[in-house]
Structure 1
């Protein structure tokens, strides 16, 4: 499926995500709007998977704005925590903070939970960053609204203490397999080329832009 996309809404109020998605779309000449710029509503994430939550946000933004909408739902899944925080990655930061998201406290709480696990004591620090990217076409009828989902993943390990200040979220405690720098220590263009979001984006780009 190759069709021209001239503009779309990035269905997120997270400035870091919006910036990364805009950077990934820049080579294709797509004009982007953020959910905040258009005054779009926040959507309650009631899905049980990254894909379900990404689709919910993209469909809502497309209906509300009348534009094609692209949404990302992503998070950190830690092996010794049975995949937590997973789809609740942002919620962990909200619960840690007082009146807002505090990823510094969330990262500390996550590592403290890991330390209580026997597998962690055996040096099991494995984790994955997972991304589901959903593209929704505008339609007033939710049941007939088309949505397309692309998923990506990057394997790595949790480190402590946090390192770097170039990323966002849990980036300072995640090192991808084969790397020595955390995601937050990488220059944005390097991280964008190897992240879970980039993996999902490669599938999205192939589907909608072909060899453009």
Structure 2
């Protein structure tokens, strides 16, 4: 028996990544959109606050445990930007939250990613040395048993790298084509899913979340009788 948990996101690629990472704990992730739940507001300036707000929103609307992932790219030369605004760093005329069809949503997300990457390259155009283009992918995962859970589980993951001067690779999503990972000698978009799921910021956060789930939610994941 698997524990159904609502993922406070409608990102199909994020669902696939997190679903694979958390499957060993007996967690079955379903997107909030599949349950007719609207996306939560994200008014805060930190990944932690936004993830907690999204998790509580999804739990309240579904009556189920919920998991939220607030993640993004922090570039040192830009004072940590785009940070919590990573997903909408560049403005587009269309509003992603109001797009209902899955195909249209993913097409718009791809346009948004391209616009975000172009803006980032422009912002770093005068920084040529790799050391001046240092950055981190950051992931914060928050899990709650209910909307008013007083003991949310919180896990962090950070994946360091450098921003390239042009895209490399066709895999992944978001800023992956621009994020060079020196330790692996490739961009995040050039890594296959198995390698990425072993090293990424989301993988690191998920591994920590697995440990916490096993310790704090064992009664839900492995009910007796």
TM-score range, shorter chain: 0.7 to 0.9
Q: Distance in 1 between matches of 2:129 and 2:20?
A: 39
Q: CA deviation at 1:105?
A: 1.9
Give the corresponding residue for 1:88.
85
Give the corresponding residue for 2:119.
109
Match of residue 136, structure 1, among 134, 144, 157: 144
Q: Distance in 1 between matches of 2:156 and 2:34?
A: 26
Q: Specify whether residues 122 and 68 from structure 1 end up closer, same or farther in structure 2 by C-alpha distance, changes over 3 A only.
A: same
Which 4+ residue blocks in structure 1 deviate beyond 4 angstroms?
Answer: none
Give the corresponding residue for 1:34.
31
Q: CA deviation at 1:29?
A: 2.8
Q: CA deviation at 1:165?
A: 1.6
Unmatched runs of 5 consecutive residues or more in structure 2: 95-107, 216-221
Specify the SS of the correspondent of 2:33: coil
More helix as a share of residues: 2
Asked whether the 8 Å contact 2:25–2:210 carries over to 1, the reply is no
Specify the SS of the correspondent of 1:115: coil
Give the corresponding residue for 2:53.
56
Q: Distance in 2 between matches of 1:129 and 1:17?
A: 14
Let me know the Cα RMSD of the aligned residues: 2.0
Q: CA deviation at 1:187?
A: 0.6
Specify the SS of the correspondent of 2:85: helix
Specify the SS of the correspondent of 1:37: helix
Q: How many residues align?
A: 201
Unmatched runs of 5 consecutive residues or more in structure 1: none
Asked whether the 8 Å contact 2:88–2:116 carries over to 1, the reply is no
Give the corresponding residue for 1:196.
201
Give the corresponding residue for 1:179.
184
- In the TM superposition, what whole-angstrom CA distance separates every residue of 1:32-87 from its partner, at most 9, and x where no partner exists? 21111111111110111000000000011011101110010000011111111000
